Structure 1
Amino acid sequence: MILALALEMQAVPSGSVAAYADCLSSRINADPAMIDPPTELAARLAIHDAALKACADRRRAARPEDAAMLDRVDASTRKVLEDPASAEQVDGDLADEPQP
């Protein structure tokens, strides 16, 4: 019984995953270039890279078991910056208008 509980606890991401995701999101959104996001892919990815560096301490503080989830957070935020139009189609726009 204890072993099952221990295994279940390991499968649940820790709060550090959410804290890391919040850090990345905050850093990306706070970047002055995001007021009018650059059209060049390299410039958008530079914003992502800067956020990764700024949040590196939070990532290092996470449990080793959370590494896969942290990688997903990185990939997800990168994907949004790589193709913002596609992300908007999937997640909807901020206007919350019905999609045709």
Structure 2
Amino acid sequence: MKTATITDFRQKMKEHLDEIQQDQDILVLTGPKKKDFVILTLETFNAMEETAHLLSTSANTKRLMESIAQDRAGKTTIRELNFDGAKPNVASRKRVAKAKSK
């Protein structure tokens, strides 16, 4: 997380915005009378919102942690999304990895 004063941000706005975009970082602007602001890319904001949603309930958090553990153990299933009514193609992670390496 980077910081800058509002005055510095005004003077170097393009440079600050380019740096935030390139680094996918957050910039905290400090202002007078404790009026501080946060500047971030829309991508970073959306990621934060998604994380907040995923962790918003204990049930969601539990499912997420179980999924992460399964992924780390290599026990995940990959499903192709298909919106035309056909059954999804289901493949284990190991079979997909083997197919990709051929």
TM-score, with structure 1 as normaliser:
0.23
Higher fraction of helix: 1
TM-score, with structure 2 as normaliser:
0.23
